[in-house]
Structure 1
Amino acid sequence: MKLRLILGDQLSLTLSSLTDLDPQNDLLLMCEVRSEATYVKHHKKKIAFVFSAMRHFAEGLSGKGLNIRYVKYDDPNNTGSLFGEVARIIAQNAISEVVLTAPGEYRLQTEMAGWSAKLDLPVTIKDDNRFLCTPTEFADWAEGRKQLRMEYFYREMRRKHSILMDQDGPRGGQWNYDSENRKPPKSGLEIPDTYHAQPDDITQEVIALVEAHFPDHFGDLLPFHFAVTRDQALEALDEFIAKRLNLFGDYQDAMIQNEPWMYHSHIGFYLNCGLLTPLECVERAEAAFHKGTAPLNAVEGFIRQILGWREYVRGIYWLKMPDYKSTNFLEATRPLPDFYWTAETQMNCMRQCITETKQNAYAHHIQRLMVLGNFALIAGLDPDEVNNWYLLVYADAYEWVELPNVTGMVLFADGGQLASKPYAASGAYINKMSNYCGSCKYKPTVKNGPTACPFNYLYWDFIGRNDGKLRGNPRMGFMYKSLDRMSDEKRQAVQDDTRRFFTAIDTDEKV
């Protein structure tokens, strides 16, 4: 009898560890364990989502007549770790081999590589077949390249999978329509709500469990409306394509107060736990373009996020780990401010994005990058603390996708291995792409003084503080020319405002 372990982010019937399943003899194992729920203090809604999706998936496997052992979190015999549960099952059954699909996080891969010796049994770890590019293929693509830019990888993926291609090149004559996807918000937009699933008895039981066992974890548990089955996830995907994809391209960078979902798909939850597969999402979006229900800039932009960016950051993760986790190119050391947890700040953009993160275990990519991440970058926040925050607060966050996005894209902590320049911006960008600034104490048009937007002076402090690290970056030349033209009086004002701002944070004053 083989024991086949299914992890909480591997909820796919096509999983590689199940391809040669012997339904009559093999034993499947799924377990909710403390070590995975608490290695960072995950958002309550994230834990509820994963546990509920796991239980529904296990119920589906049982309904197919498969022999599955499911260990709930509050089972009195639960050892609290994946290895402990595997060892417990082996002690109770005549297991000849353990089979599993490769985990998505390096820490688990390292741990599982030692299981065979500990268990005195063969442990077969199969490649994860739910991605469109294997780590080996990515490493082959990266070999010999001076710069690993996503755009060139994305083009190769488009060719490989024949997505949005004509005989002579990319559909429409361009590979990338990002320049058409940056419209600021305008009044009168009718934004459809995100997908809502009604919690069933299984989900209600999980919600009660999370409330009882994780009361001190970040975030709001209710209301809960995530999809927790494959059928529901497909409904969420279809609803996005029917109702929001047509305007996704135009407004994917826009932010509107009290509109957390905008025109985004919100399927990262379901892709990253296995309820959806990347190619089916890409192909359904491409079909919408061919039917004429969504424009090319929207469809290409959506496909680029999945076929390009998602596969690319996973490739970077496995190529660069474990050293990637400890990179800190800009030598940033400032602790994460308390307002990342409480949302108690007078910076309205930060308050909105943190509040919505707390409520929904979600924020869209511009909120994550250009508000929350932008502040972390220009304030010089410690990469370890920022990475832990992003990993635990978002329900779609697993280290393989979170770490490259934060270390590379948000913080430039890898020194440019992923991004060609730091994504630092002043308050003018936030003012352009959102309506947050109109309800803020601070003014984006004021550069210095107590009413100035903190992003304005922190931006220039960041540029000056990192002169030795960034001046040589060809994409930073304009900024350093502007800094060089800055008067001594202006430079002193930037330093004074920055010092005042950080002193206020350090003394628990509301900023």
Structure 2
Amino acid sequence: MAVLLLGDQLHPDRGPVADADRVVMVEAWEFARRRAYHPHKLVLVFAAMRHARDRLRERGVAVDYYEADTFGEGLDAHFAAYPGDDLVTMRPASHGAADRLRALVTARGGTLRVVENDLFLCSRERWDDYAGDAEPPYRQEQFYRTMRRETGYLMADGDPVGGEWNYDDENRETPGEDYEPPDPPRYEPDSVTEAVIERVGAMDGSYDTDPPGPGWADPDPFFWPVTRDEALDALDRFVEERLAEFGPYQDAMLAGERSMNHALLSGAMNVGLLAPDEVIEAVIDGAREQPETPLNSVEGFVRQVLGWREFIRHCYREAMPELADANQLDQTEPLPEFYWTGETEMACMSDVVGGVRERGYSHHIERLMVLSNFALTYGVDPSELNEWFHAGYVDAYHWVTTPNVVEMGSFGAGVFATKPYASSANYVNRMSDYCSGCPYYHTKASGEGSCPFNALYWDFLDRNEERLRETGRMGLVYSHLDDKHGEELDTIRERADEVRAMAESGDL
């Protein structure tokens, strides 16, 4: 029996590959043409696959590696060489992928056994024990506490270390004007990675996507970790250099700062170069060795990985396939063109989109409270926003973006979100330095020069009042909307219409 090693399961010591004598890998370039993927995403996936292949061969594993246009063509070549081969693989995280793989293998005369995915900490059975017969919305905080108890992470004698489960209130500081976060590590491409970079760069752009292929991005030189050793080094560098200030400033946004103190490990984790338990344990152990590291930084990081990452994987699994097209607010606007070009006078949107174009990355608050917030209040179709996130980010996979973008960012279904994450310019002004250098006035809700976030926010509440007024936690904001009536609300509606017209014409 051979192990079918997929491009997002590249950890050498987890799952059936840990004891494998023979491994099958398919590098299918059809994947690269399905969406207008950022070139860094394509290089990360294919370079990591090639390096994983080489690492396995170095330890004596026979690796049959097929470069093909489609995954099916790669399997054709394999079964021509190994008729009737029996394969085993870990269950892919994306909906329906296991069934599609099994059908491809069976059609070629082989068999495929699918086993539990060891690159997650919460199995399907453990989730079922936790959730039972509960109906959505699922509660992330209760799930997180359950996982803390079961793993023992940041626990002492059955209680959370420090006495509190959650220190999020301490993680909303903004640094001063002179603050300079440490530079994240950059990994120079070797000959293997350079070959992938060259192939991605030579792609002819003949895609069935709009815009066509990765040419929409304006990327920096590629620098993401693509080997197991590089990923482990990136983890160590985060713990040593950025963990201490990760917590206080994890929600902060500064113009031109593409990473702040964030770990930048999600790409490596989502291709399987790092496992969640080793990442969490490295952070906890590192904090013990660095007593000055505040508990809120450690707990905030553990919550992102143990709580949020594991939680959304199962919310996705429970809610698919309906979640992919969920749109409970009936949003129909097309995604503005500046999400692809970055050409807008809005300082926050221009800077964040610019970071995505350059690196295929922005941190979670920029994703939620700038990019998704604008699309939500603007009225963008959630599936169209999800497509952009899926294409644009190095760490994006369907199981990741769909719950984060369709559900949390767009309030698409109510699977776990209990309210829409909509805000005016007040939030951006409080958590960033964008507004001080923006031609739009964050204090104005309507009229020429008023920040688009303000008019869109109040217009969003107004047009969704019937659906949202009685939604939990929305009473206070609707009491503020009640203070805006008559001529004031009319001018807000006019400004919202004007903002959409400007965005559509490229003049925002």
- What is the alpha-carbon distance in structure 1 between the residues aligned to residue 110 and residue 199 of structure 2? 34
1:108 alignment partner AA: A
- What is the alpha-carbon distance in structure 2 between the residues aligned to residue 498 and residue 222 of structure 1? 35
Which of residues 458, 469, 472 is equivalent to 2:470? 472
- What is the alpha-carbon distance in structure 1 between the residues aligned to residue 158 and residue 12 of structure 2? 37
- 1:30 aligned to 2:20? no
TM-score under structure 1 length normalisation: 0.95
Which of residues 157, 161, 179 is equivalent to 1:171? 161
Structure 1 segment 69-108 matched on structure 2, within 5 A: 69-72=64-67, 78=68, 80-108=69-97
Match of 2:323 in 1: 324
Match of 1:54 in 2: 49
Q: Secondary structure at the match of 1:68?
A: strand
Deviation digits for residues 242-271 of structure 1 (CA, Å, limit 9, x no counterpart): 111101110000000011110100000111
Q: Secondary structure at the match of 2:186?
A: coil
Q: Is the Cα contact below 8 Å between 1:44 and 1:214 reproduced in 2?
A: no
Q: Is the Cα contact below 8 Å between 1:182 and 1:251 reproduced in 2?
A: yes
Structure 1 residues 214 and 100, CA gap change in structure 2 (3 angstroms): farther
Deviation digits for residues 182-205 of structure 1 (CA, Å, limit 9, x no counterpart): 012322213101111111111111
Match of 1:497 in 2: 495
Q: Is the Cα contact below 8 Å between 2:247 and 2:296 reproduced in 1?
A: yes
Deviation digits for residues 80-137 of structure 1 (CA, Å, limit 9, x no counterpart): 2222211321112244312222122114233124235412332111121111001232
- 1:194 aligned to 2:194? no
- 1:395 aligned to 2:403? no
Judge which range, 310-319 or 32-41, deviates more. 32-41
Match of 1:75 in 2: none
Unaligned 5+ runs, structure 1: 73-77
Q: Secondary structure at the match of 1:61?
A: helix
1:450 alignment partner AA: E
CA offset at residue 214 of structure 1? 5.6
Match of 1:149 in 2: 139
- What is the alpha-carbon distance in structure 2 between the residues aligned to residue 214 and residue 376 of structure 1? 31
- What is the alpha-carbon distance in structure 2 between the residues aligned to residue 335 and residue 453 of structure 1? 20
- What is the alpha-carbon distance in structure 2 between the residues aligned to residue 290 and residue 92 of structure 1? 52
Match of 2:268 in 1: 270
1:491 alignment partner AA: L
Judge which range, 112-121 or 40-49, deviates more. 112-121
- 1:137 aligned to 2:136? no
Q: Is the Cα contact below 8 Å between 2:95 and 2:320 reproduced in 1?
A: yes
- 1:182 aligned to 2:156? no
- What is the alpha-carbon distance in structure 1 between the residues aligned to residue 377 and residue 459 of structure 2? 8
Structure 1 residues 412 and 235, CA gap change in structure 2 (3 angstroms): same
CA offset at residue 303 of structure 1? 0.5
Match of 2:209 in 1: none
CA offset at residue 406 of structure 1? 0.5
Q: Is the Cα contact below 8 Å between 1:101 and 1:127 reproduced in 2?
A: yes
CA offset at residue 3 of structure 1? 3.5
Match of 1:337 in 2: 336
- What is the alpha-carbon distance in structure 1 between the residues aligned to residue 204 and residue 429 of structure 2? 37
1:452 alignment partner AA: S
Which of residues 229, 235, 239 is equivalent to 2:237? 239
- What is the alpha-carbon distance in structure 1 between the residues aligned to residue 30 and residue 91 of structure 2? 18
Count of aligned pairs between the two proteins:
498
Match of 2:203 in 1: 213
Q: Secondary structure at the match of 2:64?
A: strand
1:370 alignment partner AA: M
Q: Is the Cα contact below 8 Å between 2:174 and 2:432 reproduced in 1?
A: yes
Q: Secondary structure at the match of 1:32?
A: strand
- What is the alpha-carbon distance in structure 2 between the residues aligned to residue 420 and residue 222 of structure 1? 38
Q: Is the Cα contact below 8 Å between 1:391 and 1:397 reproduced in 2?
A: yes
2:374 alignment partner AA: F
Unaligned 5+ runs, structure 2: 206-212
Q: Is the Cα contact below 8 Å between 1:52 and 1:203 reproduced in 2?
A: yes
Match of 2:385 in 1: 386
Q: Is the Cα contact below 8 Å between 1:317 and 1:324 reproduced in 2?
A: yes
Fraction of identical pairs, as percent = 39
Q: Is the Cα contact below 8 Å between 1:45 and 1:220 reproduced in 2?
A: no
- 1:10 aligned to 2:18? no
Which of residues 75, 92, 108 is equivalent to 1:119? 108
Q: Secondary structure at the match of 2:263?
A: coil
CA offset at residue 35 of structure 1? 2.6
Q: CA RMSD in A?
A: 1.5
- What is the alpha-carbon distance in structure 2 between the residues aligned to residue 474 and residue 55 of structure 1? 49
Q: Secondary structure at the match of 1:114?
A: helix
Q: Is the Cα contact below 8 Å between 1:185 and 1:255 reproduced in 2?
A: no
CA offset at residue 181 of structure 1? 0.3
Q: Is the Cα contact below 8 Å between 2:138 and 2:416 reproduced in 1?
A: yes
- What is the alpha-carbon distance in structure 2 between the residues aligned to residue 446 and residue 124 of structure 1? 60
Q: Is the Cα contact below 8 Å between 2:26 and 2:75 reproduced in 1?
A: no
Q: Secondary structure at the match of 1:29?
A: strand
Q: Secondary structure at the match of 1:461?
A: helix
Q: Secondary structure at the match of 2:114?
A: strand
Q: Is the Cα contact below 8 Å between 2:425 and 2:453 reproduced in 1?
A: yes
Q: Is the Cα contact below 8 Å between 1:135 and 1:318 reproduced in 2?
A: no
2:117 alignment partner AA: D
Structure 1 segment 427-442 matched on structure 2, within 5 A: 427-442=425-440
- What is the alpha-carbon distance in structure 1 between the residues aligned to residue 334 and residue 87 of structure 2? 42
CA offset at residue 162 of structure 1? 0.3
Q: Secondary structure at the match of 1:123?
A: strand
2:271 alignment partner AA: C
TM-score under structure 2 length normalisation: 0.95
Structure 1 residues 293 and 81, CA gap change in structure 2 (3 angstroms): farther
Q: Is the Cα contact below 8 Å between 1:333 and 1:380 reproduced in 2?
A: yes
- What is the alpha-carbon distance in structure 2 between the residues aligned to residue 116 and residue 11 of structure 1? 20
